[in-house]
Amino acid sequence: MLDISLPFRKNTGGSPGQKDQPLESGDMERAQAEKTIVVDIEKRPGYGEDAKPLINWPLWPSQTTALVAVFDGMGGAGAEQVDTAEGPRSGAYVASRTARAALRDCTHLLQALRPAGDFGEPEHYIERVSTISTSQISTHIAATIRQQLDAEAVRTGAGTHSRVKSRLIKRLPTTMAAAWFNLRLGEITTLWAGDSRVYLLTPRDGLQQVTTDDLKTGGDALENLVEDSPMSNCLSADADFIIHQRTLPIQPPFVVFAASDGCFGYVSTPLHFEHLLLSAMNQAQSMDDWRTKLSEQIDAVAEDDSTLAGAIAGWSGFSAMKADFVDRQQRCAVQVRHYDQQAHDVARLQRELGEAKKALADGRQKLWDEYRKTYEALQGAETADVRAEIYRLHDRDQGSAVAHHGSPQAVGAESAGTTPASATSGGTTPTGTTPTDATSADPQAGQALSLNPHHDHSERS
């Protein structure tokens, strides 16, 4: 039988009709520790742009409602430095913490999510509130986040410290992924903006992504691992943003996670993230041990700040939960090992191919170095260079006239209206040759004739 594990101290004395009493603060903390898992990794301690994960399970005094949320400040768009109580920090640092505080201020509204007429706990431990809808809560949360981001931007002067002007730069940009479930209502609601995610983990279906990433490419989870896409939407103090809401029916047992992309963005496939969660669980002996091992495994692969908040419902303890996930963990392990072996083989073949290409190039150079000794032996012989002048239009015309009249002098005499000497002596030259022979004997005229492909040789007949 499923155990929703309401954190009440059972009545062990007094009248039989006395109701169970809510747990004291210390008991509540121990109950939450048994039902939650948190990963909070800062790559640069004190400057991490992920806010501390927000988690309340159980959300007192509503003993069947839990909240998990993460906030990932966007360091590229929010790199501008602003003054904070901790010293200069990026706008992304301030944004994630401001959004977290805004959502925390709204958690009291979740206590009103209960079936009509059901106040759940002993009446003198809870203030009676009217039942409100999930959409009303979401609208209030969005407005509160917007107001607090705007106020923080004014207080810190965000947007006035950087000279860089770009549409990619935003004032106090951050992602958000939040989820709350209510066991009495049997539903889970998620709110998100950006690429942080909410997941549901069950023994039957494994890991399921509940949110949809805000990506300009619209790519799926695998595509976003292969080619990191810019975001199409996030929380900020600049332009209007959108907070998405999705409500689904839910029944225990399950684990609900909110996670920033540092947790799932550095694995080979989406399946590898589920395997990471379950392998850490399988190796652990307790909830504390699971937290430690999961943090170590994420930190080993992540290159960014990483935050995760998980709430567990439906098991009496860690051992019972671990036993229910054994089959799923083993199936994941087989698939991951098969993929990893293929990836290892491809990496080995690529390495060997690279080595073979280098050996081929080295061999080609060595072969040439030896062969060129005889191949290029004649290249050192003495060489004479002959310059080829450009044949100009004026030279072409002069060459044509010389070829027709026999000599440059004849051309000049004809243009002056006189008769060349050769014409008065019977049409022969002093050597007894014809004008055509004289032209042939003139090297210049012959060169002009041979270089002029357009000359009409019929004139020479």
Dump pLDDT digits (tens) for 277-311: 999 999 999 999 999 999 999 999 999 899 999 99
Closest CA to 135 of 127, 145, 143: 143
Which of 65-74, 255-264, 300-309, 447-456 shows the lowest per-residue confidence on average (mean pLDDT)? 447-456
Contacts 24+ apart (CB under 8 A), 25-30: 28/58, 28/60
Q: Which residue in the block uniquely carries the two structure tokens 């062990």?
A: 12
Helix pair angle (408-416, 393-405), 10° resolution: 90
Length of the chain: 461
Q: Can you say how many angstroms the Cα of residue 19 is from the centroid of all Cα atoms in its chain?
A: 54
Are 324 and 315 in contact by the 8 Å Cβ rule? The answer is yes
pLDDT at 218: 82
| pLDDT-derived band at 396, boundaries 50, 70, 90 | low
Are 110 and 59 in contact by the 8 Å Cβ rule? The answer is yes
pLDDT at 124: 38
pLDDT at 28: 54
Most confident residue range from 18-32, 46-60, 124-138, 279-293: 279-293
* DSSP conformation class of 50: B
Query: 143 φ, ψ to 5°?
Result: -65, -40
The domains found in the chain, sorted by start residue, are 35-345 (3.60.40.10)
Q: How far apart are CA 192 and CA 135, in angstroms?
A: 14
pLDDT at 60: 58
Query: Which H helix or E strand runs over 164?
Result: none
Which of 59-68, 135-144, 377-386, 392-401 shows the lowest per-residue confidence on average (mean pLDDT)? 392-401
Closest CA to 315 of 412, 422, 179, 202: 202
Q: What is the rounded average pLDDT of the residues 77-88?
A: 78
- In the predicted model, is pLDDT for residue 71 greater than 80? yes
138 or 59, which is more confident? Answer: 138
Most confident residue range from 100-114, 144-158, 357-371, 436-450: 357-371
| pLDDT-derived band at 30, boundaries 50, 70, 90 | low
Helix pair angle (287-301, 270-283), 10° resolution: 140
Which of 219-228, 279-288, 433-442 shows the lowest per-residue confidence on average (mean pLDDT)? 433-442
- In the predicted model, is pLDDT for residue 33 greater than 80? no
Q: How far apart are CA 128 and CA 92, in angstroms?
A: 39
- In the predicted model, is pLDDT for residue 44 greater than 70? yes
Residue 452: CB atoms within 10 A of its CB come to 18
Closest CA to 183 of 27, 103, 63: 63
Q: How far apart are CA 391 and CA 302, in angstroms?
A: 72
Instruction: Give me the residues paired with residue 69 across strands.
Output: 54, 178
Contacts 24+ apart (CB under 8 A), 81-84: 81/161, 82/156, 82/157, 82/158, 82/161, 83/156, 83/157, 84/156
Q: What is the rounded average pLDDT of the residues 232-253?
A: 92
pLDDT at 57: 77
259 or 224, which is more confident? Answer: 259
| pLDDT-derived band at 40, boundaries 50, 70, 90 | very high
State the DSSP string of 101-130.
Answer: HHHHTTGGGGGG-S-TT---S-GGGS----
| Helices and strands (H, E) in the chain, number of each type | 14, 14
Which of 351-360, 369-378, 406-415 shows the lowest per-residue confidence on average (mean pLDDT)? 406-415
Closest CA to 77 of 98, 99, 92: 92
365 or 89, which is more confident? Answer: 365
Query: 140 φ, ψ to 5°?
Result: -65, -40
Are 254 and 202 in contact by the 8 Å Cβ rule? The answer is yes
Structure tokens at 266: 């550095």
